[in-house]
Every structure is written in structure tokens, then in C-alpha cells.
């Protein structure tokens, strides 16, 4: 039986923000557009490594440093300047097309917050630009927690800040590693699978799966018996 949560916790990067324009930003600097995905995956890898080693380095610090080095390796003409322009694109991303109607629908189901490995200001800008900021009671970042997601302490931080029982909170994300971490911390989970991908067999499965946010809202709003 599907039961509605008291609090919905959204991941931000890729879950809410459409990172597609980053490929064009890389290409505009004269380097292959596919490096955008390589770069983002590298940020997560190094952030996870810092967490595993007991640190908590800011997402933006890892992003800026790794981007400049990646551009240098691919012979960008002015790596530092190119990195600044690409970072500017990151700060001006839009939400996915399903996010506005999905968030509006989900705000009728439960209280909404975000929990990001990035800075809270990035979520603030993204949601304000989309006209959605008023639907979120808090914008949480792991910069104020002991470690990055998917470390348990990141989710515990959200539990403590929001004052809710973990089992009454629903983590919404496109990343299976985030789903797995939240599950192990006692939260319920919803995987947003916009691409029709197969879920990795080695991670804890989500409680819910939906193709987009309005579809998730439909599941939560549907009469339960």
C-alpha cells in the first residue's frame, strides 16, 4: 500500500536541474560536449572519496578545480576563462520540463525541502528562477552536514533539521546511489526514471518509481486501500 509522506526531500542536481545545456557549454569552449558528463561524474567520485576519507569539501571547490584541469588536458585555449564560463552555465540552469507541474502537485501532498550535495544558494537560484521557491520550506545542503550523500550522516542532518521521523520522509532522486543511501538511513524513497533505465541490482530498490514528477504525484495522490 502506498501511503503519503509528511515530508518530501528532493535531490537537486539532475533531479530538478536539467544539465543538458552543459554539453553545449563545453562545445562552445572548443572541447567535446560529452566531457560534461565525465566532469560531473568526476565531481561525485572525488566528493564521495573525500567523504570516505572523513572530509567534506565543498561541491563548488571540487567542480572548479577539476574543471580547469579537465579543460587543460583537452587543450582548451584558456582553461581558466573557459572554466569560469562553464561554471556560469551551471549557475543558470533551468529545471526539467516536468518539475514545475510536478512540484506544484507534490506540494499538495506534503511539505517539501531539498537536500543537495551542492550549495543551498544553487537550489535557491534554480527554484526562484522557475517560480517554485515558495513551495519549499527549507533548502538543505551537505555543506552544513558532516558528509556528502550517500553517507548516512547527510540524511540524518535532514531528519534533525526537519524534526520528522525518517519513515515519514520520502527522498526523491534520479540517482540510485542516493536512493540506496536514503533507504539505509530509514527514509522512504522514490526513483525518478526519466530515461527508462534499468535500476542497478546492487543498490536497495526504491519504494516508488515514476517516469517524472507528475507521475509520482499521481501515485501519492491516488486513493489507497
Q: Which domains does the chain have, with CATH numbers?
A: 7-18+93-221 (3.40.50.1000), 21-90 (1.10.150)
Helical axes 79-90 vs 21-28, angle rounded to 10°: 160
Measured between alpha carbons, how far is 26 from 45 in angstroms, rounded to an integer? 20
pLDDT of residue 2: 67
For the residues of 72-141, what is the DSSP string, one character each? Answer: HHTT-SSHHHHHHHHHHHHTTPPBPTTHHHHHHHHTTTSEEEEEESS-HHHHHHHHHHTT-GGGEEEEEE
Residue 1, pLDDT above cutoff 50: no
Which of 91, 63, 67, 61 is closest to 80 using CA atoms?
A: 67
Count of C-beta atoms within a 10 Å radius of residue 118: 24
pLDDT tens readout for residues 151-173: 999 999 999 999 999 999 999 99
Report the pLDDT value the prediction gives residue 75, as an integer from 0 to 100.
Answer: 82
What is the mean predicted confidence (pLDDT) over 127-145? 98
pTM above 0.85, yes or no: yes
132 CB neighbour count, 10 Å cutoff: 19
Q: Which residues contact 134 (CB under 8 A, 6 or more apart)?
A: none
pLDDT band of residue 3 (cuts 50, 70, 90) is confident
Amino acid at each position: 500500500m502506498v501511503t503519503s509522506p509528511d515530508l518530501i526531500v528532493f535531490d537537486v542536481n539532475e533531479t530538478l536541474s536539467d544539465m543538458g545545456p552543459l554539453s553545449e557549454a563545453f562545445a562552445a569552449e572548443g572541447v567535446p560536449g560529452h566531457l560534461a558528463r565525465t566532469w560531473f561524474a568526476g565531481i561525485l567520485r572525488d566528493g564521495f572519496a573525500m567523504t570516505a576519507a572523513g572530509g567534506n569539501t565543498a561541491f563548488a571547490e571540487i567542480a572548479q578545480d577539476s574543471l580547469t584541469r579537465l579543460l587543460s588536458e583537452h587543450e582548451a585555449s584558456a582553461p581558466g576563462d573557459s572554466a569560469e564560463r562553464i561554471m556560469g552555465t551551471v549557475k543558470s540552469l533551468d529545471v526539467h520540463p516536468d518539475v514545475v507541474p510536478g512540484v506544484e502537485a507534490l506540494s499538495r501532498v506534503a511539505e517539501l525541502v531539498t537536500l543537495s550535495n551542492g550549495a543551498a544558494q544553487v537550489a535557491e537560484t534554480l527554484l526562484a528562477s522557475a517560480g517554485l521557491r515558495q513551495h519549499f520550506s527549507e533548502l538543505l545542503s551537505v555543506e552544513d552536514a558532516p558528509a556528502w550523500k550517500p553517507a548516512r550522516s547527510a540524511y540524518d542532518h535532514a531528519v534533525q533539521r526537519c524534526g520528522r521521523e525518517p519513515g515519514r520522509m520520502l527522498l526523491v532522486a534520479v540517482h540510485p546511489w542516493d536512493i540506496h543511501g536514503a533507504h539505509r538511513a530509514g527514509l522512504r524513497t522514490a526513483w525518478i526514471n526519466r530515461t527508462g533505465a534499468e535500476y542497478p541490482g546492487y543498490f536497495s530498490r526504491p519504494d516508488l518509481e515514476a517516469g517524472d514528477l507528475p507521475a509520482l504525484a499521481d501515485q501519492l495522490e491516488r486513493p489507497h486501500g
